[in-house]
Amino acid sequence: MPDVLSKHPIDVIVLGSLVVAALWAVLSPRLLRAVIALALASICVTALLFRLEAPLVGVFELSVCAGLISAVFISSISLSQLETEETIAKARRERIRRYWFLPLLLLFVGIAVGHMSPPTFTRVPAGGLEVRSVLWTERHLDLLGQVVILLAGAFGVVVFFKETKKHEP
Amino acid sequence: MSPELLTAYVVTIVLLATTGLFYLLVTTNLIRALVALELMTKAVTLGLVLVGKLTNNPGFTQALTITVIVIEVVILVVAVGLVLLCHKHTGTVDARNLRNIRG
């Protein structure tokens, strides 16, 4: 562990921050703080994606996950008064009872996976398409499927909150 | 990529997925279940891009990851809409209190 910390300090610090942010999102009794921790986790993932030479995916992750999804969560919490003093107190009381096992589980899993030999992958010959080329030239029917999903999501939300007209006698 | 750094990435991805899965199984709050789903999706996103880099095929895996992110946000928006509708009709987002199914 000290070797990887001295050779790749930025990666190790960001990886550690990601795990800490995820734990904060889980253990926080306040829903709003859990959502903020989730946004911080997205920022850490963005940094790692840039380190892995995937800037386009990093920009998507930052704008969509850290931005749009956080805004959706926060607006839903504020519009519906989902977080009250009662729910916060209840979550604080139940936190230890529910999540005491989580640090032990993560420690066990981390040590077990850390002692395994790293996975090996077969490298394909160089010359593969760049991500923009794949997005714009190699996609066919799956693009249609993605458009259908987007439209289904948009219309679904519209239908959920459609006001029903009252019929007068 | 050095084996030590690869191990660090793999351990983080597994820890993130484990945390999300544990949270999803334990929580009864529907909004917190969506937060757990987001954590697991982040692990998948990181794993996909890492595999693409290691196999020298980054274009395909990154395009796939962008598709996953788009579908993830659509699913999340619809799920939040469902939760808000549920809260509007029943006054709660606790899964333990949602026991009345009326046909």
Q: Residue A100 carries which DSSP code?
A: T
Q: Which residue of A has its CA nearest to B75?
A: A153
Q: Which residue of B has its CA nearest to A42?
A: B42
Please check whether residue B95 touches A, CB under 8 A: no
Residues on chain B touching A69 (C-beta within 8 angstroms): 38, 73, 76
What is the enclosing helix (H) or strand (E) of B30? helix B30-54
Which of B21, B37, B42 to probe the A interface (max A CBs under 10 A)? B42
> What are B13-41's pLDDT values in tens digits?
999 999 999 999 998 889 999 999 999 99
- The backbone torsions φ and ψ at residue B33, rounded to the nearest 5 degrees and listed phi first, read -65, -35
- The backbone torsions φ and ψ at residue A160, rounded to the nearest 5 degrees and listed phi first, read -60, -40
Give CA separation, A150 vs A43, A141, A143, B77, in Å.
24, 14, 11, 10
Closest-CA distance of chain A to residue B101, Å: 18
> What are A121-169's pLDDT values in tens digits?
777 776 667 777 787 777 777 788 888 888 888 888 888 777 655 555 5
**CA B40, CA B60: separation in Å to the nearest integer?**
21
pLDDT at B103 over 60: no
Closest-CA distance of chain B to residue A68, Å: 8
**CA B29, CA B15: separation in Å to the nearest integer?**
22
**CA A95, CA A89: separation in Å to the nearest integer?**
10
- pLDDT score recorded for residue B101: 62
> What are A26-78's pLDDT values in tens digits?
999 888 999 999 999 999 999 999 999 999 999 999 999 999 999 999 988 88
Residues on chain B touching A68 (C-beta within 8 angstroms): 73
Interchain CB distance below 8 Å, A80 and B87: yes
Please check whether residue B91 touches A, CB under 8 A: no
**Least confident among A14-28, A118-132, B38-52:** A118-132
Give the helix ranges, DSSP H, for A52-140.
Answer: 55-60, 70-80, 85-99, 101-115, 131-137
- pLDDT score recorded for residue B33: 93
Instruction: Quote the pTM value.
Output: 0.87
Question: Measured between CB atoms, which of A25, A41, A123 is closest to B56?
Answer: A123
Residues 124 through 143 of chain A touching chain B, CB cutoff 8 Å: 124-126, 128-131, 133-135, 138-139, 142
- pLDDT score recorded for residue B43: 96
ipTM of the assembly?
0.91
- pLDDT score recorded for residue B21: 94
- Percentage with pLDDT > 90 across chain B: 54
In 3D space, the residue among B58, B21, B53, B93 whose CA is nearest the CA of residue A77 turns out to be: B93
Interchain CB distance below 8 Å, B59 and A129: yes
> What are A87-126's pLDDT values in tens digits?
788 778 888 788 888 888 999 899 898 888 777 777 777 6
- pLDDT score recorded for residue A93: 80
For residue B99, what pLDDT band results from cuts at 50, 70 and 90?
A: confident
Q: Which residue of A has its CA nearest to B53?
A: A52
- pLDDT score recorded for residue B38: 95
Q: Which residue of B has its CA nearest to A101?
A: B22
